[in-house]
Structure 1
Amino acid sequence: MGTQYFMVLTDPVEGQDAAYNDWYDNQHLADVLAVDGFVSAQRFSLSHQKGPEGALVSKFLAIYEMETDDVDATLATLLARLGTSVMPVTPALDDRNLGMFVATALAAPRRRA
């Protein structure tokens, strides 16, 4: 099986940070990990960002590790569940700037000697 990293950039609706973070940490990560192929999940608060002048930059990044030979099928299952009773979405999520992408490592990580 191949390891892929599914990364999602998100933001809360203005003034809804607490509801957004509660949903993400206490429901959404577990809902995603219930999808076959997803094996780990971690969230990050983004800082030190540079974007084109005037560009909106997201506050949060989630990185999901997938073990799958069929990334398209795994993501299709995830997206089919999104917004249903098995994977509800909070109204505190601002979906206007949602960014999603998949990355495949080209080599093992290098470590300082």
Structure 2
Amino acid sequence: MPKYLFFGFTNPVPGREDEYNDWYTETHLPDLLKVPGIVSAQRFKLADHQRSPGPHPYKYLAVYECETDDVRSIVSELKARSGTSEMPISSAMDTERLMYFFEPITDVKSTEA
């Protein structure tokens, strides 16, 4: 089955970072994992040291692994559920965000033989 990565770049509303992180980890990740085709989720925080000095517009990243024959079905489900009781969106998350699906074009390469 085809695999995709779904990336969500977000920020908290200033002064509400703890609330945002609690909601994202405890509510939002489990809600997304209920969407058919989304098989895993992990969150990341921007590291203090970067290759370029910035500015870096997003402090947080969520990565979701997806397995589906039709990525449009996941997109449709996300749109349908977002902001409903199935997937409430916290007011602690800034409204500016980026969401992208990527599909692989190579096999995974590693340093292991």
TM-score, length of structure 2 as denominator length: 0.90
Mapping of residues 16-95 of structure 1, within 5 Å: 16-47=16-47, 48=50, 50=52, 57-95=57-95
Name the structure with the higher strand share.
1
Aligned-pair Cα RMSD in Å: 1.6
SS of the equivalent of 1:93 reads coil
What is the CA distance between 1:19 and its match in structure 2?
Answer: 0.4
**Conserved in 2, the CA contact under 8 Å of 1:49 and 1:57?**
no
State the identity %: 42
**Unmatched tracts of structure 2, length 5 or more:** none
Q: What stretches of structure 1 move > 3 A for 4+ residues in a row?
A: none
Structure 1: 5+ residue runs without aligned partners? none
Cα distance in 1, alignment partners of residues 52 and 85 from structure 2: 37
| 100-109 or 60-69, which deviates more | 100-109
Instruction: Give the direction of change, closer, same or farther, for the CA distance of 1:75–1:43 in structure 2 (3 Å limit).
Output: same
Paired residues in the alignment total: 110
